Structure 1
Amino acid sequence: MKQPPGYEDPAHPGHVCLLQRSLYGLKQAPRAWFKRLHDYLLSAGFYSSKTDVSLFCHTTEGSKVFLLVYVDEIIMMGSNTTLVNSLLGRLASTFKIRDLGTPGFFLGIETVSSGDGMVLSQRRYMVNVLSRDGMTDCKPLATHASSVTQPVTPSDQPFENPTQYRRIVGALQYLTITRPDLSYAVNRLCQFMHTPTDDHWATVKRVLRYIKGTLHYGLCLDSFPTRTIHAYSDSDWVGCPVDRKSTSGYAVFLGGNLISWLSRKQRTVARSSTEAEYQALADVAAEVTWVVSLLRELGLHTEQPASLWCDNLGATYFCANPMFHAQTKHVEIDYHFVRDKVASGDFVVSFVSTKDQLADVFTKPLPGPWFTTLRDKLNVVEHQP
């Protein structure tokens, strides 16, 4: 280390500067900033959530205020407008902030009013992605993946510009925040970041063409009288022709609102479709456990058991009957925690027909009409621009 230009001390040339405040752009800057904000919020009467460290809560005489932090972006909501304004004033006395009123944009996500609820939209972000990649005038498609062709293997012709491929797929990952219908396609594309081929690039362009035709679609959040949790889990057994691993998918609903979803390749090869479905059930059970923990912290949990829906009878039996132990000796032990949840009454695992399985859209390409039906059931709706 050496003294910066203009601040040299001729009397002590071997001395260095003592850092009193973390500088913007350094690796330790975000952590130092969050610690300062965290300490101030605790002194102002907030308490930090143990489930989500970026969430802070304030309770006074039955009124609640929630404050969510993402780096230097903050969103605050509460049941008492006077209390919210008071806390904003205290925050402004210490930090230089701007109150932008009712959220219109937050982290690039637009909130569009729709009846008693709202639609979370990333239309501007989608337009920017299409414009940046020269696909503004492309022909739109009804689905993002073909249901008749198998996923390609890495042995095809390598794509000439892998950096461009990684940049676009990385941008598509952020888009899945409000577009769960894109999760399966983006998950498949992310598996070939290191060695993309021309066929993978053709799939990217197909996804962009689908986005072109659904620019005005977003995730709808509406008001519902019930706060029960129900989730759907599904698996596509040995869906990957490269390593023969299965793909898990789940959708978690709070009332009628979709709040969490996933499309991910499983870590191990499943010996049967029942085992693959059982692993998918374990994945959604872990997510629901986290959601329940968060709702309890916020005082919003109804204490009713969560309903998990699976379209494989064998997997539902595994969750409740320990006599199947001989058939699951090879299954990793961490997947069996779902049995404890069922035994304790936290979860109720039930069978659902394949035609009613909403998580099907996260595990495989689907025909256009069926894909559209499931997309509507996931509350991905069209809104006015």
Structure 2
Amino acid sequence: MFLKEKRCGTIKGRGCADGRKQRLYKSKEETSSPALSIEALLLSCVIEAYERRCVLTCDIPGAFMQADMDELLHLKLDGTILEILLCMEPFYRQFVTYENGKKVLYAQLDKALYGAMQSALLFWKKLTWYVDDLKLSHVDPEVVEEIFAKLQEEFGKEAPLSVTRGEVHNYLGMRINFSVDGKVQFTMPTLVEEIVAQLPPSMATGPSTTPPANHLFEVNSKAAKLPMQDSDLLHRLTTQLLYLCKSARPDLQTAVAFLTTRVASPDTEEMKKLGRCVQYLRRTAHFPLVLEASCIRNIRWWVDASYVVHPDMTSHTGATMTLGKGSVYSMSTRQKLNMRSSTEAELVGVNDAMSLILWTRHFLEAQGYTVQKNIVYQDNESAILLEKNGRQSSTKRTRHLNVRFFFVTDNVNQGRLSIEYCPTGDMIADYFTKPLQGPPFRKMLKQILNIDDDNIINSLPQECVKDNDIETNRMSQTETSQSRVCQSSSDSPDAVEVDCEAAPMTKVEVKGAVTLHPAKMATFRSYADVVRNKERK
């Protein structure tokens, strides 16, 4: 029996069977049930914000107990749980037997008790949904209430369903906020507090401006291995950070991706890297992930790879996707193969992301949307040629990669995606392949989380700069402020729209703004903004 304190302060009890003995005769096909993916949840929330839907979340109490067991299955009760049962219901004392001098009670399961291997599948067959946490949405609130009433009638006989209406919902550990029109915001304050609280006091000091330091991928073979207690702590925190970065804090993903490769045999250097990541999380605990769609039918991906950055000489893939602003989901993962060039690494990177790229298209089409564009941006033109042309652009040096780039080429030819060039400075996926620092980090962070500059600057400590870097830092801040003035003034009906690519070195006068080079503006404008402006034209 597991006891847990809920957010509201009440204590939740959950009886759990031990299903290990069932593994001897239960196959995976007999027990597996579909589960909600984080990607599907995030995408559905973006659609709900885009369509301004009414959202309702609810929880079915004792969900598995609503389904009947499908076979003869016995449960053995002993120890403390049996004593509690006999204290509450003395009637069962007549069925108690003794084994090795200990009380034992055998019972037959009539319901799909939590812990039995087939319980989740049995409930899914009764209600084709994600276990017991339900999210309903529709543009018409009456439709949502009608569905909820049917659920209440069927599953609320023993106890009423807990329900949340309105703009803020606690769902699967996430706080989902629809209060801003057209946007959805994700935070996980409870998990963040739990992670930060576990960090030892000796590691909870010092500034941390980014989750990883420059030496993230470096491994010191001479570093001392962690004792068992510290190793367990690193493993536990890394697991929690992994769920956090996949759900609401993608800015942690690069650091966490490396830590997941080191949990088997961590050393003191990995513990320091974990400490830096948690210190950054503590300073930015209030950062939300804000998602908004400008057009559901246009999907944009940025895919990149860092060549040979891991100790085993493998490369690292980074990818991120947006429907407008904010990264709906991202990936940061070590490649399985050793590549001989950066072009090959970029090619494998796109292949690593292909399953998500195609799945996203299928998911949106299943929601009734016709996908018009599914664009993959890359900054390596040689890799783009291989992906677009296949064998025509292949040489002896890339012959061994035929299967991978022909798969990409086949999908390009069938119109499922298109490959386009993106300048390296605007490659958002760079964030997920290398430990960025300073202005490049803040620029990418702003686009990934879709938060404003003031929020970032006020949350991070001042970075230490050498004397010869002070003037450069000051000029960068000046250019940023000038860019903001120019962008804000462009909202005026009298403003002149600047095409940064058409006249990169021509001075342009903008009413109410300073005179500056459009090339300087391009430094502080995201590539996604440039693409959106072109589409408006």
- Where does residue 271 of structure 2 map in the other structure? 201
Task: Report the count of equivalent residues.
Answer: 349
CA distance 1:114–1:141, change in 2 (3 Å): farther
Give the SS at the match of 1:337: helix
Spell out the pairing of 1:184-333 with structure 2 (5 A cutoff).
184-225=254-295, 227-240=297-310, 242-301=311-370, 303-321=371-389, 322-326=391-395, 327-331=397-401, 333=403
- Where does residue 28 of structure 1 map in the other structure? 118
- Where does residue 171 of structure 2 map in the other structure? 106
> Partners of 1:74 and 1:169 in 2: how far apart?
28
User: Residue 357 of structure 1: CA displacement?
Assistant: 0.3
User: Residue 226 of structure 1: CA displacement?
Assistant: 5.5
User: Residue 137 of structure 1: CA displacement?
Assistant: 6.0
On the 8 A contact 1:234/1:249 being kept in 2, the answer is: yes
- Where does residue 13 of structure 2 map in the other structure? none
- Where does residue 373 of structure 1 map in the other structure? 443
User: Residue 20 of structure 1: CA displacement?
Assistant: 2.7
- Where does residue 43 of structure 1 map in the other structure? none
- Where does residue 236 of structure 2 map in the other structure? 167
- Where does residue 147 of structure 1 map in the other structure? 214
216-225 vs 165-174, which moves further = 216-225
> Partners of 1:107 and 1:9 in 2: how far apart?
40
- Where does residue 95 of structure 1 map in the other structure? 155
Provide TM-score, normalisation by structure 2. 0.61
- Where does residue 72 of structure 1 map in the other structure? 132
Structure 2: segments with no counterpart, 5+ residues? 1-73, 79-91, 98-105, 459-537
CA distance 1:2–1:155, change in 2 (3 Å): same
On the 8 A contact 1:245/1:267 being kept in 2, the answer is: yes
Spell out the pairing of 1:317-356 with structure 2 (5 A cutoff).
317-321=385-389, 322-326=391-395, 327-331=397-401, 333-356=403-426
Give the SS at the match of 2:242: helix
On the 8 A contact 1:233/1:310 being kept in 2, the answer is: yes
- Where does residue 39 of structure 2 map in the other structure? none
User: Residue 119 of structure 1: CA displacement?
Assistant: 1.6
Of the two structures, which has the highest relative contact order with CA contacts closer than 8 Å and spacing of 6 or more?
1
Q: Aligned letter for 1:208?
A: V
- Where does residue 480 of structure 2 map in the other structure? none
Give the SS at the match of 1:378: helix
Structure 1: segments with no counterpart, 5+ residues? 11-15, 39-53, 55-68
Q: Aligned letter for 1:99?
A: V
- Where does residue 428 of structure 2 map in the other structure? 358
- Where does residue 81 of structure 1 map in the other structure? 141
CA distance 1:215–1:3, change in 2 (3 Å): closer
Give the SS at the match of 2:253: helix
On the 8 A contact 2:216/2:255 being kept in 1, the answer is: no
Deviations 1:234-281 (A, max 9, x none): 0000011x2100000101112334222100011100111000001111
On the 8 A contact 1:138/1:212 being kept in 2, the answer is: no
On the 8 A contact 1:307/1:350 being kept in 2, the answer is: yes
Q: Which has the larger radius of gyration?
A: 2
> Partners of 1:127 and 1:179 in 2: how far apart?
14
User: Residue 206 of structure 1: CA displacement?
Assistant: 0.4
1:122 to 171, 184, 188: 188
> Partners of 1:100 and 1:339 in 2: how far apart?
46
On the 8 A contact 2:289/2:326 being kept in 1, the answer is: no
CA distance 1:18–1:217, change in 2 (3 Å): same
> Partners of 2:387 and 2:193 in 1: how far apart?
45
> Partners of 1:88 and 1:150 in 2: how far apart?
50
